[in-house]
């Protein structure tokens, strides 16, 4: 029997005595796991999963899964319903989506519209939901003390929601705003155009988001009535799945589920619910008349794309076998002589290719997506010939080869499943509830992650999918760039997709792909049984496919080769050299006091190494608190601090950007086979730093694997590759980067945040500045780029390394020494002159304006969207202010959302946020809107902060304050859920040279903080008798260009009085208006010169780690620009940047995966903004639904598929 923990009451409820709570949690009595009577234990979990799972069915038919995580301080709950967009009545398209929006806005026993959100916010939590085609998923998180009441409220939502007609138009406006946002997403538009080609009598082709035209046709009473009817017809226990999560015992969770969900009638509140969901297999969604078409779509980006869609009958019944994983492996492989490298390096037509699938009862859709290069759209036939030629090679591979590949994929999947990161509470409950609608309980934890069938039973299914991937069963969509000449004049037969204003044309496939008949699929070689059991296919394709004429011709044009013999295209074989991880030393030693009981012992500095200079800092800790057989190595090289904050030239930044992109491709191709074995790496460079992160399973293969990665880094760029491919790659990467810089498809709010960061970050450069340098051929020659990377590894540098994981002290030292030696750091030789780590710039500099700053510019996207982003800079963060404003943060998010979006309907993306930029605390309010001009949006934000937010804090009851305080304390006491949490917990303080116990200090102060302290900190942040250090960025959309010129003080007064801003705040605004430095146009580094002339300096580069540490700003010391200043004179020790502010922007990364070892977060941080990846991505993804939407408070992470707060 497995052991488990019952969470002590003191942990859940007490606000004081937290260290005692840690003692109790960290040293629990070992008891026998207790599953509820009648519940089925789910035990097929990952090996590193400390959680317990059980499945039950209530008497009303509701299926329930309870998850106990003994170490969690959070609880979560989710309900998935088998009804979604396909269920929309034709008269109310978007009704399912609108119903999802409205569910949390009042229920029978909790009628207040914002009551649920306010309750969750008081417990440090929030709610979210998304609507998919046949599924709607709702979920909420909060701290453990609120579980019982949270379940009461959550259950009431699904028992009897109100759908109050008095606020229904507000929610329709929110849905419409979301749709307006979606219309600006190129990925979204492309998907909708593709789906519109399905049968008109199938819901697949229907518009589902909803907007004013589909939802505001009748009275609000009628609409609310239709929502109630939809709910009554589809929301009942047999159609719902409930998941709960938390530290409480499984039985406690189940009893709460029974109490609050067990009384819902089997057929729903009105007795009208069908217990069986609809199915949409008939009428056929993709008849032959929808196939063999070529769509040309007017895009929004500077990067063209192409998507191939292959419909099949639903593959959902094959969920245990994952036959598509075979195609993803062989088509997505990017090693030498792969489809990707041939299309990219030999044909210069596409930079990448990927495979994905979307399943529904209507059909499954297999999609192949190409990210095209500029020449790609001119050679559609060549790309398709190359693809189908490769597909023939795949088909021709033997059954034995396919079985070997699937066996290795299954083993690799098992390895990742057993030792992967645990999903957070929110993802756990939302993922499991959705899965419960698709599979039986025993399969829940494994079926989406593992191959559960014998591989010999899967090859026939692979053959079936391959047999469906032929031109007669294909729909092609090419997405042009926004300024493609094809659209300079209206093409013949152009169509405009209803609701989206998206232009496209439709041609016969044969018009652009005349050789399509050559690739016709085999006849009757595959049969689909009644239960989707496949008969083994007979191979009908020769393994010696001739090179298509179009491909041969293009290869010779690109490479100037007289023969095509050098063009090699291979299907990758099985994954080999998979490690056998060892658990020796995988368990970290628990610390003795305080939070160390949760995070384990602090890494120790390794002394006495004779093979590296004494100035090198090497750190080590064995194991993980969540025992995992992985090891990681982190390294940071940093130059001594430069007295000139603008020392980073755009030329050097550009060389590093291009050089590391080249090195990244080179390493990805050379190490593609290694990457398949679970080895990850990240190699990045900042203004004055170089960071390396290595990760592998703990096994004898780890050291040789790391050696291979290091050898590639040491080798550096090879601009003289075979057949001139290095030179071609350089030209292509420069062209790609130029297109990215010219691209303006990023959300306008991200653009505004980027402008703000350019203004405030010394040494950073704008897109336009980088563009202006791209034409300097001598600057970007291959040799110059190689030298630029080498220079970053040479000269006067400090070195810090850290090894963590399942390895001994001796192995840790050996690995770190090898890393250092490969990078030229040793006692006997090397190009690195070691500096003391204390001389490095540990904290990224932030400009300190002498007065308010406002930048006004045109929205570069060219659409009607306006943005107002205001950030009040509060100075370097001390422990007390960090804690008090963390209390404020959840209230701020709730109040700004309720006021700016729910009440005023200013836009879909609005909010407020407390964060840090490097070590500087910031208070931000933002509005992205097509209806509110930026000058008015600023007034609304200021009013919300000064009036509504202040009132909310002042009127907060002692009980509510203690809940908010307790939620924050619980968050500090959350033990790590993944090894990257543990890495970041220690690596950042090590780089700082201090603050290893910052969380302890925050916890210490949080316990004794008072409500009046919080209110005082808030007022200090937003009010001033003088002027504030405030930076505002305003972007003006089309139709508002006449407002770019700054209004006069009298105009400002008129606007703010109209909005009824409180008089003291208006007076402050007028004082600030009179001294504001006004900037115009897109932000560039020269704007910092203007601010310097007006007295701007640099914030003190300090980090306060102790409760009693003095606020650096209280001394009123400001570092001014002075190239002759001694950067170390009279300065206290500096700490590195806060959070994942990767080394001073711009930051450039070569990575095998989403791994970033350069820096990590401290307890309150701002996430550095990065431009959205604009390469072609699969449009069809099971885990992301068409209406996965959000008003994202963490707007810096905004993506195409947001979710609803």
Asked if residue 1035 lies in contact with residue 866, where contact means CB atoms within 8 angstroms, the answer is yes
Question: Higher-confidence residue: 1144 or 412?
Answer: 412
Structure tokens belonging to residue 1105: 């780690």
Write the secondary structure of 202-231 as one string of H (helix), E (strand) and C (coil).
CHHHCCCCCCHHHHCCCCHHHHHHHHHHHH
**Nearest-angstrom CA–CA distance, 631 and 681:** 12
C-alpha distances (whole Å) from 701 to each of 83, 477, 579 are 48, 44, 7
Phi, psi of 630 (to 5 degrees): -125, 155
Please write the tens of the pLDDT for every residue from 326-357: 999 999 999 999 999 999 999 999 999 999 99
* Neighbour count for residue 1051 (Cβ, 10 Å): 12
Question: DSSP string covering 1135-1194, please?
Answer: -PPSTT--SSSS-EEEESSS---S----SS--PPP-PPP-S---S--TTS-TEE----SS
Please write the tens of the pLDDT for every residue from 22-59: 333 333 334 346 798 889 999 888 888 999 999 999 99
The pLDDT assigned to 1165 comes to 28
Indicate whether 1124 pLDDT > 50. no
The pLDDT assigned to 908 comes to 86
Indicate whether 1178 pLDDT > 50. no
Q: What percent of the chain has pLDDT over 90?
A: 68
Which of the given ranges, 22-31, 540-549, 944-953, has the highest pLDDT on average?
A: 944-953
Asked if residue 753 lies in contact with residue 779, where contact means CB atoms within 8 angstroms, the answer is no
**Nearest-angstrom CA–CA distance, 32 and 944:** 52
pLDDT band, very low/low/confident/very high, at 646 (cuts 50, 70, 90) = confident
Please write the tens of the pLDDT for every residue from 472-511: 999 999 999 988 899 988 899 999 999 999 999 999 999 9
Indicate whether 639 pLDDT > 90. no
The pLDDT assigned to 16 comes to 33
**Nearest-angstrom CA–CA distance, 604 and 813:** 12
Phi, psi of 109 (to 5 degrees): -95, -5
- Within 373-526, strands assigned E span 475-479, 495-497, 502-508
pLDDT band, very low/low/confident/very high, at 545 (cuts 50, 70, 90) = low
Residue 1004 has, within 13 A of its CA and on its CB side, a CA count of 12
| Pairing outcome for strands 1077-1080 and 853-858 | parallel
The pLDDT assigned to 875 comes to 95
The pLDDT assigned to 88 comes to 96
Mean pLDDT in residue range 93-99: 97
Please write the tens of the pLDDT for every residue from 660-699: 898 899 899 999 999 999 999 998 887 788 899 999 999 9
Structure tokens belonging to residue 1071: 């004082």
Phi, psi of 1129 (to 5 degrees): -70, 130
Indicate whether 541 pLDDT > 70. no
Please write the tens of the pLDDT for every residue from 998-1035: 999 999 999 999 999 999 999 999 999 999 999 999 99
Q: What percent of the chain has pLDDT over 70?
A: 86
Q: How far apart are the first and last CA of the chain?
A: 40
Please write the tens of the pLDDT for every residue from 757-778: 999 999 899 998 998 888 776 7
Indicate whether 1123 pLDDT > 50. no
Please write the tens of the pLDDT for every residue from 420-466: 999 999 999 999 999 999 999 999 999 999 999 999 999 999 999 99
Asked if residue 1134 lies in contact with residue 1102, where contact means CB atoms within 8 angstroms, the answer is yes
Asked if residue 1187 lies in contact with residue 1020, where contact means CB atoms within 8 angstroms, the answer is no
Please write the tens of the pLDDT for every residue from 730-740: 888 988 999 88
Structure letter (DSSP) for residue 486: G
Asked if residue 574 lies in contact with residue 408, where contact means CB atoms within 8 angstroms, the answer is yes
Mean pLDDT in residue range 816-844: 85
- 673: enclosing H helix or E strand: helix 672-675
Asked if residue 896 lies in contact with residue 925, where contact means CB atoms within 8 angstroms, the answer is yes
Asked if residue 2 lies in contact with residue 250, where contact means CB atoms within 8 angstroms, the answer is no
Report the mean per-residue pLDDT for the chain. 85
Sign of CA dihedral 695, 574, 369, 207: negative
Indicate whether 1175 pLDDT > 80. no
Please write the tens of the pLDDT for every residue from 784-812: 888 887 777 777 889 999 999 999 999 99
Question: Alpha helices, DSSP H only, in 506-645?
Answer: 509-512, 549-559, 596-599
Asked if residue 428 lies in contact with residue 78, where contact means CB atoms within 8 angstroms, the answer is no
Phi, psi of 689 (to 5 degrees): -145, 160
**Nearest-angstrom CA–CA distance, 664 and 344:** 14
* Neighbour count for residue 326 (Cβ, 10 Å): 26
**Nearest-angstrom CA–CA distance, 984 and 1167:** 14
The pLDDT assigned to 897 comes to 92
Indicate whether 948 pLDDT > 60. yes
Please write the tens of the pLDDT for every residue from 107-154: 999 999 999 999 999 999 999 999 999 999 999 999 999 999 999 999
**Nearest-angstrom CA–CA distance, 90 and 83:** 15
Asked if residue 941 lies in contact with residue 925, where contact means CB atoms within 8 angstroms, the answer is yes
Mean pLDDT in residue range 1048-1057: 96
Question: DSSP string covering 1073-1118, please?
Answer: HHHPEEEESS--THHHHHHHHTT-EE-------STTPPPGGGGT--
Sign of CA dihedral 32, 33, 37, 38: negative
Closest CA to 1164 of 1081, 1104, 1109, 1084: 1104
Mean pLDDT in residue range 833-837: 85
pLDDT band, very low/low/confident/very high, at 188 (cuts 50, 70, 90) = very high
Question: DSSP string covering 868-915, please?
Answer: EEEEEEEEEPPHHHHHHHHHHHHHHHHHHIIIIIIIT---SEEEEEEE
**Nearest-angstrom CA–CA distance, 758 and 628:** 40
Q: Put the strands of the sheet holding 350-359 in their side by side order.
A: 350-359, 364-372, 305-312, 475-479, 293-297, 502-508, 495-497
The pLDDT assigned to 520 comes to 82
Structure tokens belonging to residue 1147: 């930051």
Q: Put the strands of the sheet holding 1030-1036 in their side by side order.
A: 909-917, 920-929, 866-876, 1030-1036, 853-858, 1077-1080
- Return the residue matching tokens 């998941």: 243
**Nearest-angstrom CA–CA distance, 1159 and 919:** 14
Closest CA to 85 of 72, 100, 71, 105: 100
Question: Higher-confidence residue: 1090 or 639?
Answer: 1090
Phi, psi of 149 (to 5 degrees): -70, -35
Asked if residue 603 lies in contact with residue 619, where contact means CB atoms within 8 angstroms, the answer is yes
3-state secondary structure at position 701: coil
CA angle (799 as vertex; 796, 801 as ends), nearest 5 = 165
Asked if residue 914 lies in contact with residue 888, where contact means CB atoms within 8 angstroms, the answer is yes
The pLDDT assigned to 547 comes to 87
Question: Higher-confidence residue: 781 or 386?
Answer: 386
Structure tokens belonging to residue 995: 């603050």
Q: What is the CA radius of gyration of the chain?
A: 30
pLDDT band, very low/low/confident/very high, at 1110 (cuts 50, 70, 90) = low
- Return the residue matching tokens 């505002």: 1032
**Nearest-angstrom CA–CA distance, 1126 and 644:** 10
The pLDDT assigned to 29 comes to 35
* Neighbour count for residue 647 (Cβ, 10 Å): 15
Structure tokens belonging to residue 981: 């949490």
Phi, psi of 51 (to 5 degrees): -85, 165
pLDDT band, very low/low/confident/very high, at 574 (cuts 50, 70, 90) = very high
**Nearest-angstrom CA–CA distance, 100 and 44:** 33
């Amino acid at each position: 029997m497995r052991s488990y923990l019952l969470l002590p009451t003191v942990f859940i409820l007490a606000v004081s005595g937290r260290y005692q709570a840690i003692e109790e949690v960290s040293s629990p009595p070992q008891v026998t796991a207790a599953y509820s009577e009648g519940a089925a234990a789910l035990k097929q979990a990952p090996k590193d999963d400390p959680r317990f799972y059980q499945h039950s069915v209530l008497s009303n038919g509701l299926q329930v899964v309870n998850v106990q995580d003994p170490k969690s301080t959070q609880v979560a709950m989710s309900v998935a319903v088998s009804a979604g967009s396909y269920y929309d009545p034709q008269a109310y398209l978007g009704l399912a989506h609108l119903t999802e929006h409205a569910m949390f806005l009042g229920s029978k026993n909790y009628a207040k519209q914002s009551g649920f959100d306010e309750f969750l916010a008081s417990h440090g939590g929030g709610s979210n939901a998304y609507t998919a085609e046949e599924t709607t998923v709702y979920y909420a998180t909060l701290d453990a003390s609120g579980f019982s009441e949270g379940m009461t409220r959550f259950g009431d939502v699904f028992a009897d929601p109100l759908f109050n007609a008095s606020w229904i138009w507000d929610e329709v406006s929110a849905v419409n705003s979301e749709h307006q946002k979606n219309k600006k997403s190129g990925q979204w538009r492309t998907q909708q155009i593709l789906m519109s080609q399905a049968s008109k009598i199938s819901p697949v082709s229907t518009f589902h988001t909803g907007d004013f035209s589909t939802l505001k046709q009748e009275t609000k009473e009628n609409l609310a009535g239709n929502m109630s009817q939809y709910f009554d017809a589809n929301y009942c226990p047999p159609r719902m799945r409930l998941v709960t999560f938390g530290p409480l015992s499984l039985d406690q969770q189940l009893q709460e589920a029974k109490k609050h969900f067990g009384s819902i009638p089997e057929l729903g509140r009105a007795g009208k619910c069908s217990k069986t969901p609809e199915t949409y297999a008939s009428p056929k969604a993709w008849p032959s008349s929808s196939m063999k078409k070529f769509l040309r779509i007017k895009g929004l980006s500077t990067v063209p794309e192409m998507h191939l869609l292959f419909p099949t009958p639903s593959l959902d019944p094959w969920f245990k076998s994952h036959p598509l994983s075979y195609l993803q492996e062989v088509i997505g492989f990017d090693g030498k002589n792969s489809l990707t490298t041939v299309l990219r390096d030999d044909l210069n037509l596409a930079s990448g290719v990927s495979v994905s699938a979307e399943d529904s009862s209507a059909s499954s859709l297999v999609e192949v997506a190409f990210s095209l290069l500029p020449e790609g759209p001119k050679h559609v036939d060549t790309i398709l010939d190359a693809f189908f030629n490769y597909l023939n090679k795949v088909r021709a591979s033997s059954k034995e080869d396919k079985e070997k590949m699937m066996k290795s994929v299954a083993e690799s999947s098992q390895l990742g499943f057993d030792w992967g990161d645990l999903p957070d509470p929110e993802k756990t409950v939302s993922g499991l509830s959705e899965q419960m609608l698709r599979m039986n309980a025993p399969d829940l934890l494994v079926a989406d992650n593992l191959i559960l069938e014998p591989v010999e039973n899967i090859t026939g299914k692979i053959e079936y999918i391959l047999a469906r991937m032929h031109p007669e069963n294909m729909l092609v969509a090419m997405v042009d760039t926004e300024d493609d000449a094809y659209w300079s004049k209206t093409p013949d037969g152009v169509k405009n997709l209803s609701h989206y204003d998206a232009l496209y044309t439709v041609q016969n496939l044969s018009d652009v792909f005349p050789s399509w008949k050559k690739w016709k699929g085999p006849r009757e070689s595959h049969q689909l049984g009644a239960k989707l059991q496949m008969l083994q296919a007979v191979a009908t394709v020769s393994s010696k496919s001739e090179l298509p004429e179009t491909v041969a011709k293009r290869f010779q044009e690109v490479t100037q080769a007289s023969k095509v013999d050098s063009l090699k295209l291979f299907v990758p074989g099985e994954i080999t050299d998979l490690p056998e991880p060892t658990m020796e030393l995988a368990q970290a030693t628990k610390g003795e006091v305080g939070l160390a009981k949760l995070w384990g012992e602090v890494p120790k500095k390794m002394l006495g190494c004779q093979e590296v200079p004494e100035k090198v800092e090497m750190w080590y800790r064995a194991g993980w608190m969540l025992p995992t057989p992985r090891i990681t190595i982190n390294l940071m090289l940093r130059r001594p601090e430069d007295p000139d904050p603008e020392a980073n030239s755009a030329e050097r930044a550009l060389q590093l950007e291009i050089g590391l992109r080249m090195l990244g491709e080179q390493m990805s191709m050379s190490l593609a086979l290694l990457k398949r074995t679970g080895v990850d790496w990240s190699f990045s460079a900042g203004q004055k730093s170089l960071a390396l992160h290595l990760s592998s399973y703990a096994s004898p293969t780890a050291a040789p694997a790391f050696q291979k990665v290091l050898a590639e880094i040491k080798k550096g760029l090879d601009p003289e590759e075979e057949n001139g491919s290095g030179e071609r790659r350089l030209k292509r990467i420069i062209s790609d980067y130029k297109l990215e810089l010219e691209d303006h498809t990023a959300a306008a709010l991200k653009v505004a945040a980027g402008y703000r960061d350019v203004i405030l970050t010394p040494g950073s450069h704008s897109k336009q500045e980088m563009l202006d340098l791209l034409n300097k051929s001598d600057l970007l020659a291959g040799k110059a780029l190689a030298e630029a990377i080498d220079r970053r590894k040479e000269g006067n540098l400090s070195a810090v390394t850290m090894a963590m994981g399942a390895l001994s002290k001796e192995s840790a030292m050996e690995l770190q020494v090898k890393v250092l030696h490969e990078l030229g750091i040793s006692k006997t030789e090397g190009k690195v002159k070691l500096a003391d780590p204390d001389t490095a710039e540990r904290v990224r500099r932030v400009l300190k304006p002498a007065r308010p700053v406002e930048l006004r510019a045109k929205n570069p996207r060219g659409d009607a969207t306006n943005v107002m982003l205001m950030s009040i800079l509060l100075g370097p963060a001390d422990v007390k202010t960090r804690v008090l404003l963390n209390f404020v943060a959840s209230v701020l998010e709730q109040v700004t959302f309720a006021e700016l979006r729910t009440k005023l309907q200013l836009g879909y993306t609005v909010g407020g946020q407390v964060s840090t930029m490097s070590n500087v605390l910031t208070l931000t309010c933002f509005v992205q809107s097509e209806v509110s001009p930026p000058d008015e949006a600023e007034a609304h934000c200021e009013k919300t902060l000064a009036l509504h937010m202040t009132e909310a804090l002042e009127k907060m009851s002692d009980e509510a304050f203690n809940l908010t305080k307790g939620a924050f304390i619980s968050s500090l006491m959350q033990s790590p859920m993944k090894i990257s949490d543990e890495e970041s917990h220690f690596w950042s303080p090590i780089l700082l040279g201090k603050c290893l116990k910052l969380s302890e200090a925050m916890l210490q102060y949080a316990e004794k903080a008072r409500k009046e302290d919080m209110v005082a900190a808030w007022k200090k942040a937003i009010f001033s008798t003088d002027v504030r250090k405030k930076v505002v960025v305003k972007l003006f959309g089309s139709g508002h260009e006449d407002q770019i010129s700054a209004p006069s003080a009298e105009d400002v007064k008129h606007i703010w009085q109209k909005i009824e801003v409180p008089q003291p705040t208006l007076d402050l605004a007028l004082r600030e208006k009179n001294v504001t430095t006004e900037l115009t146009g897109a932000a560039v580094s020269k704007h910092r010169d203007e601010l310097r002339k007006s007295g701007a300096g640099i914030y003190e580069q300090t980090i306060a780690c102790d409760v009693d540490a003095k606020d650096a700003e209280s001394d009123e010391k400001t570092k001014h620009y002075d190239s002759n200043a001694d950067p170390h004179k009279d300065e206290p020790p500096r700490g590195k940047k806060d959070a994942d502010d990767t080394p001073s922007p711009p930051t450039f990364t070569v990575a095998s995966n989403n791994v970033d070892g350069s820096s990590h977060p401290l307890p309150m941080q701002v996430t550095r903004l990065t431009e959205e990846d604009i390469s072609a991505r699969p449009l069809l993804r099971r885990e992301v639904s068409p209406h996965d939407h959000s008003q994202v408070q963490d707007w810096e992470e905004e993506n195409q598929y947001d979710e609803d707060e």
